[in-house]
Amino acid sequence: MSLIEITEVRKSYGTNEVLKGINLDVEPGEVIAIIGKSGSGKSTLLRCINGLETITQGSISVAGAQLIDDEVHLKALRLKVGMIFQQFNLFPHLTAGGNVMLSQSVVKKTAKAEAEAMARKMLDRVGLGHKFEAYPDELSGGQQQRVAIARALAMQPIALLCDEITSALDPELVAEVLAVVRELAAEGMTLLMVTHEMKFARDVCSRVVFMHQGRVHEIGPPEEVFANPKTPELQQFLGMH
């Protein structure tokens, strides 16, 4: 059984069908890069896996748990899958430490001391142990994104969804975030990431998914997909990058 099973998933906004039957099985420890043109449905797919969007048809299961649209099932699913956003979305009224502690205390009812220890550990892990007391607006974009990663990790998810997590960063800050992701991949975290960092995808990912017009147009190991694209759409897409 795969860790994440996406079966015939369709998603429409009104009459606009954005996902047109997606099938994708992700094994534990896999690192999957999702690439494709703007509007091809990459974000929508990730958001569906996390239950931020409700799917119109098909099924998604994570570690055997079905995605069902009610608060209990969604919560169970979200404890297994963390999500990192392009815009970081840190809570501005809390310190870095507070950001990492909040959901542990509120959702998991972890005791304060324990949540704080976990927060320090996770902030250390992304190289920001010394920024525990800093507020988000006192941090650089790269640091904010690393706090967001620590915040997701503190919930001990079995997979992470990353939606263009370096796209809002100044170029010189991209590397520090990718280094953290690279480390997570090396430690065996299952990752699904929408990315424009082709070099990163080539180096780190086990498989690359090329999405086109709401479908998985091509899929395979990076060597194959990048060196030997089969469809003209992917050839054209890679030509531009």
Partner 1 sequence: MIEFSIWDILRNLLLATRWTILLSLVSFVGGGAVGLLLLFLRISKRKAVRAFAKYYIELFQGTPLLMQLFLAFFGLGLFGIDVPAWLAAGLALVLWTASFLAEIWRGCVESIARGQWEASASLGMGRLQQMRYVILPQALKIAVPPTVGFSVQVVKGTALTSIIGFVELSKAGTVVTNATFQPFTVYGLVALIYFALCWPLSKSSQILERKLNVAHRNH
Residues 7-66 that bind Mg ion (CB under 5 A): 43
State which of residues 10, 127, 129, 135 lies at the interface with partner 1 (CB under 8 A).
135
State the Cα torsion 226-188-95-86 to the nearest 10°. 20
State which of residues 40, 44, 50, 166 lies at the interface with partner 1 (CB under 8 A).
50
Paired tokens of 23: 């099938």
State which of residues 24, 43, 97, 205 lies at the interface with ligand ATP (CB under 6 A).
43
Give the per-residue contact string, 59-78, with partner 1 (x = CB under 8 A; - = no).
------------x--xx--x
In the complex with partner 1, which residue's Cβ is closer, 12 or 89?
89
Task: Compute the least distance from the CB of residue 172 to ligand ATP, in Å.
Answer: 23
Distance, CA of 81 to CA of 83 (rounded, Å) = 7
* Cα angle 113-116-117, degrees, rounded to a multiple of 5: 85
**Residue 8 · residue 61 · CB < 8 Å:** no
Please name the helix (run of DSSP H) or strand (run of DSSP E) that holds residue 71, with its range, or none.
helix 71-80
Residue type, 143: Q
Chain center to CA of 187: 16
Task: Give the bridge partners for 15, in sequence order.
Answer: none
The footprint of partner 1 on this chain (CB under 8 A) covers a number of residues equal to 29
Using rule CB under 6 A, residue 13 touches ligand ATP: yes
Contact residues for partner 1 (CB under 8 A)? 50-52, 71, 74-75, 78-79, 82-83, 85, 87, 89-94, 102-103, 106-108, 135, 137, 148, 151-152, 155
